[in-house]
């Protein structure tokens, strides 16, 4: 066993042995660094890219529609989006702030509220839940007066918010959608295609999402590649989906994919959620006088991280599912990547024992193998 194969796996590196994917376009390096410092093997696969505001003719057109007549209500959904809209309008010499100064401006959350105030406007109300659903409920309750015939501008941020927009239009209001920071597929789609293949194969342990468009885009790529069903199934088995918040998890929920979410929608909290969820997935086993944990691409034996090739790891993973029970050779043959035979299993076990450096795998003559009890 070489120094490259074996590393410490203490509490300072709780993600050592795991592969975590980052689908973010913005601040991907920051999130990746948080995960890397905790020992993860980080895979970058941006699922979206941002259309630059300066080049966005659709945003210019939407802003001119807002300026065409007085606006009764404005809904700011994100801080960065609303701030970017005001700044872009100013760069285009469009008098947006002055035009909205007589409007009731609602903020979906504290960041949007800060952007409203920072832009020289006054925020009138915001929900406790930071959700679009509560904004719609507030408006439908009549708290802001009758909506029929009123002009309502809704600042979007990648997510088209169909429920909010449709709910307002059903009241007879004129709803003006403002698509700030539109998301499209990245110019280089190869990394996200590789990620889709890795998820389907179970080669990734967790996938992080920081925006709903990224989650939707990943599923779109999986659909176009004919792998959507395999990806959804993988998320239901060993691959964990970890979203920064409930809005981001929306497309995953719609696809039937369960996700973990931190209590606060922040990158640091997202990284801590990965730390909390991945190691708890794989129990630490007592194997005779030794401890053993089988992680994504490695095993931890008595606190030592030992990286293993796919064949050895597959054999160990099957044995770890039933510690102390004999696993027939046929079951281990079936688990080998790419297939094999009884001899291939024997070779994998021999090399596995040498790699682990501890007598945790026993041979049961004419029956198979098991982890020691």
Domain positions in the chain are 6-50+186-281, 53-181, 285-371
CB-based contact 371:320 (threshold 8 Å) = yes
In tens digits, the chain (373 residues) has pLDDT values of 443 345 555 567 999 999 999 999 888 999 999 999 999 999 999 999 877 676 788 899 999 999 999 999 999 999 989 999 999 999 999 999 999 999 999 999 999 999 999 999 999 999 988 889 999 999 999 999 999 999 999 999 867 788 999 999 999 999 999 998 777 889 999 999 999 999 999 999 999 999 888 999 999 999 999 999 999 999 999 999 999 998 889 899 999 999 999 998 899 999 999 999 999 999 999 998 999 999 999 999 999 999 999 999 999 999 999 999 999 999 999 999 888 888 999 999 999 999 999 999 999 988 999 998 7
DSSP string of 255-317, one letter each residue: TT--EE--SS-SHHHHHHHHHHHHHHHSPPEEETTEEEEE-SSEEEETTEEEE--HHHHHHHH
**pLDDT for res 212:** 86
**pLDDT for res 213:** 86
Least Cα distance to 157 among 212, 103, 221, 106 occurs for: 212
**pLDDT for res 372:** 86
Q: Which two tokens stand for residue 18?
A: 């795991």
**pLDDT for res 12:** 75
Report the alpha-carbon distance of residue 270 to residue 278 in Å, rounded. Answer: 12
Q: Which two tokens stand for residue 328?
A: 């027939």
Q: Which two tokens stand for residue 241?
A: 């989906």
Neighbours of 98 (CB within 10 A): 10
CB-based contact 233:195 (threshold 8 Å) = no
Is 222 exposed, middle or buried (CB count within 10 Å of its CB: 0-12, 13-18, 19+)?
A: buried
In degrees, to the nearest 5, what angle opens at C-alpha 201 toward C-alphas 340 and 14?
105
Per CATH, 53-181 and 285-371 having the same topology is answered no
Q: DSSP secondary-structure letter at 52?
A: P
* Runs of H (alpha helix) within the chain: 28-37, 57-67, 79-91, 96-100, 110-118, 132-140, 162-169, 190-200, 212-224, 228-235, 250-254, 267-281, 310-321, 329-335, 342-356
Please state the φ and ψ torsions of residue 343, each to the nearest 5 degrees.
Answer: -65, -40
89: left (phi over 0), alpha (psi -120 to 50) or beta: alpha
**pLDDT for res 227:** 97
Is 3 exposed, middle or buried (CB count within 10 Å of its CB: 0-12, 13-18, 19+)?
A: exposed
**One CATH from 3.30.930.10, 3.40.50.10090, 3.20.20.370, 3.40.50.150 for 53-181:** 3.40.50.10090
- CATH topology classification for 285-371: Arc Repressor Mutant, subunit A (1.10.10)
The whole-angstrom distance between residue 312's C-alpha and the CA centroid of its chain comes to: 29
Q: Which two tokens stand for residue 92?
A: 């285009």
Q: DSSP secondary-structure letter at 20?
A: E
**One CATH from 3.40.50.300, 1.10.4160.10, 3.40.50.10090, 3.40.1210.10 for 6-50+186-281:** 3.40.50.10090
In degrees, to the nearest 5, what angle opens at C-alpha 2 toward C-alphas 332 and 299?
40
**pLDDT for res 50:** 79
**pLDDT for res 51:** 75
Report the alpha-carbon distance of residue 248 to residue 135 in Å, rounded. Answer: 17
């Amino acid at each position: 066993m070489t120094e490259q194969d074996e590393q410490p796996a203490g509490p300072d590196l709780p993600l050592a042995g795991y592969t975590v994917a980052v689908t973010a376009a913005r601040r991907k390096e920051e999130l990746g660094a948080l995960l890397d410092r905790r020992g993860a093997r980080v895979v970058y696969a941006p699922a979206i890219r941002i259309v630059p505001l300066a080049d966005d003719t659709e945003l210019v057109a939407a802003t001119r529609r807002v300026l065409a007549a007085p606006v009764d209500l404005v809904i700011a959904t994100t801080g960065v989006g609303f701030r970017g809209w005001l700044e872009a309008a100013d760069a285009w010499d469009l008098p947006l702030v002055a035009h909205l100064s007589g409007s009731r401006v609602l903020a979906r959350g504290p960041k949007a509220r800060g952007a409203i105030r920072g832009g020289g406007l006054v925020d009138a109300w915001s929900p406790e839940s930071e959700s679009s659903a509560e904004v719609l409920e507030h408006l439908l309750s009549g708290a802001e007066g009758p909506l029929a015939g009123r002009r309502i501008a809704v600042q979007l941020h990648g997510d088209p918010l169909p429920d909010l927009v449709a709910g307002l239009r059903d009241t007879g209001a004129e709803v003006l959608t403002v698509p700030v920071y539109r998301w499209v597929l990245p110019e280089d789609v190869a990394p996200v295609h590789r990620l889709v293949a890795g998820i389907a194969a179970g080669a990734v342990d967790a996938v992080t999402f920081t925006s709903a468009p990224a989650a939707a885009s990943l599923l779109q790529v999986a659909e176009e590649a004919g792998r959507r069903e395999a990806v959804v199934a993988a998320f239901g088995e060993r691959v964990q989906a970890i979203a920064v918040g409930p809005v981001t998890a929306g497309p995953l929920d719609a696809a039937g994919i369960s996700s973990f979410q931190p209590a606060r929608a922040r990158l640091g909290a997202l990284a801590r959620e990965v730390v909390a969820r991945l190691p708890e997935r794989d129990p630490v086993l007592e194997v005779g006088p030794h401890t053993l944990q089988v992680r994504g691409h490695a095993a931890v034996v008595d606190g030592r991280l030992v990286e293993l090739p796919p064949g050895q790891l597959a054999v160990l993973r099957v044995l770890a599912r039933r510690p102390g029970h004999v696993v027939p050779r046929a079951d281990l043959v079936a688990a080998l990547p790419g297939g094999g035979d009884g001899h291939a299993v024997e070779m994998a076990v021999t090399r596995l024992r040498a790699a682990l450096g501890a007598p945790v795998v026993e041979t049961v003559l004419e029956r198979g193998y098991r982890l020691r009890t």
